Amino acid sequence: MGATQNHPSVAPRGLSRADAARYVGVGVSLFNQMIMRNLMPPARAIGGRHVWDIRELDAAFDELPHMDEGSTSPPAASNDDPDDRPDNDFV
């Protein structure tokens, strides 16, 4: 009968730099700055690739302050990445 099995999709545990940045809601250049400031974890090495552990990203994100807990602005970002610019939807 040749029926095919349905394989559930597997959520990745490791993310590329761009996907990790997107996962936490920032652009790549801001994500890089957050890594340098120890606000986000460093990558893990898998072969020659840099991969971010989604669980470590979750833990680091949980430690970020809320807007009312200190700084009222996100970490400084360069203006070359549109994803790094603050949202002006509520201004």
- pTM of the full structure: 0.69
**Cα separation values, 35 from 8, 26, 30, 60, Å:** 33, 12, 9, 10
* HSE-up of residue 18 (Cα within 13 Å, Cβ side): 1
Asked if pLDDT for residue 81 goes beyond 70, the answer is no
pLDDT above 90 as % of the chain: 60
Q: Which pLDDT belongs to residue 91?
A: 31
Q: Which pLDDT belongs to residue 73?
A: 56
Query: In angstroms, rounded to a whole number, what is the distance separating the alpha carbons of residues 21 and 28?
Result: 5
